[in-house]
Structure 1
Amino acid sequence: MRMLVNVRIPHEPFNTYVRDGSIAELIPRVMAESKPEVVYFTEQNGHRGAVLIVNVESASHIPALAEPWFLLFNADCEFRIVMSAEDLQKAGLAEIGAKWK
């Protein structure tokens, strides 16, 4: 299933990683492990942030996605199941609507 991962990264220890240059190795490591379809880095409430779209086969894969952010960056992560427009078309909304009139 496709999930949106919203990551909020506090200033520390990220600032330290930027200053010592280790961020150049850490971010690619996390990306290689999580294999996002897409990732965007952004500002969130005055802090660094990232938004990733990932595919997970089961909920048991969520810790492997979250722990690098938790352990390396002291980040907060939120997970949301998402669908594409094509997924929504396959959902059978008309039939669901008719059933629940």
Structure 2
Amino acid sequence: MRVMLRARLDTQASNEAIKDGTLAKIVESMIERLKPEAAYFGPGEGGRHCTFVFDMQDSSQLPSIAEPLFQELGAEFEVQPVMTAEDLKKGLAAWQAQS
């Protein structure tokens, strides 16, 4: 299932992670593991944010995704299912066919 993960990194923890090189390693590791179709980084809600859109095969992946963000960066994050415009069109057509 295509999901979007959006994380707000703790400023103090991410400052330290930038200084010691941990942030770059965590981001590289996440990109290697998730193979996201999109990855974005920037400010938001008064802090640093990262957003990844990727295919989550199984909910059992959540701990391996979440723990580096929690433990190393003090992040708050959410994961939600998302669709492309093509997915929405397909879903609406299926729904209409049932009605």
TM-score by length of 1: 0.82
Unaligned runs of 5+ in 1: none
Aligned residues: 97
Q: Provide the residue aligned with 1:51 in structure 2.
A: 51
Counterparts of 1:89 and 1:48, CA distance in 2: 33
Counterparts of 1:22 and 1:72, CA distance in 2: 8
Counterparts of 2:62 and 2:21, CA distance in 1: 28
Q: Provide the residue aligned with 2:23 in structure 1.
A: 23
Highest CA radius of gyration, 1 or 2? 1
Work out the percentage of aligned pairs sharing the same amino acid. Answer: 30
- Per-residue deviation, 1:47: 0.2
Q: Whose helix fraction is larger, Structure 1's or Structure 2's?
A: 2
- Per-residue deviation, 1:4: 0.4
Q: Provide the residue aligned with 1:3 in structure 2.
A: 3
Kept in 1: contact 2:10–2:75 (CA 8 A): yes
- Per-residue deviation, 1:43: 1.1
Residues 28-47 of structure 1: pairs in structure 2 closer than 5 A: 28-47=28-47
- Per-residue deviation, 1:20: 3.0
Unaligned runs of 5+ in 2: none
Kept in 2: contact 1:30–1:68 (CA 8 A): no
Q: Provide the residue aligned with 1:80 in structure 2.
A: 80
- Per-residue deviation, 1:35: 2.2
- Per-residue deviation, 1:56: 0.9
In structure 2, do the counterparts of structure 1 residues 21 and 65 end up closer, same or farther at CA, with 3 Å as the change threshold? Answer: closer
TM-score by length of 2: 0.84
- Per-residue deviation, 1:77: 1.2
- Per-residue deviation, 1:30: 2.8
Secondary structure of 1:90's counterpart equals helix
